[in-house]
Amino acid sequence: MKNVENEFPWYLKRTPFLIIAFCFAPLAYIIIFLNWSRLDNETRGDRFFVASILFLIFSIGFMPRNFLSISLAVGVVLFLCSATYVVLLKKNSLLF
């Protein structure tokens, strides 16, 4: 099986991308979006997940304390509402 990562530029390989994402989180997003069509689905998902987690950690430092707690509460409520909607939608589809 051919290793797809050997075809990527140096900044898209696993270790350099992790270092870039850890040190410069917004730059990792720019790199992912500029090379979106070049990456296969599995690699794109992995790199996007790493960039998202590290960007979230990076952006928490810029949020005021009250905004962070409010946004987490709103996020939890939205998640619970969407999960309830999906469950109810599946129940209704089973009945018909």
Structural domain including 75 reads 64-96
Q: Answer yes or no: do 34 and 17 share one domain.
A: yes
The answer to whether 21 and 48 have CB atoms below 8 angstroms apart is no
Q: Answer yes or no: do 82 and 37 share one domain.
A: no
Distance CA 52, CA 29 (A): 8
Q: Answer yes or no: do 34 and 16 share one domain.
A: yes
pLDDT tens by residue, 26-81: 999 899 989 988 888 888 888 888 888 888 888 877 777 788 788 888 888 888 88
Q: Answer yes or no: do 4 and 42 share one domain.
A: yes
Q: Answer yes or no: do 21 and 52 share one domain.
A: yes
Length of the chain: 96
Number of domains in the chain: 2
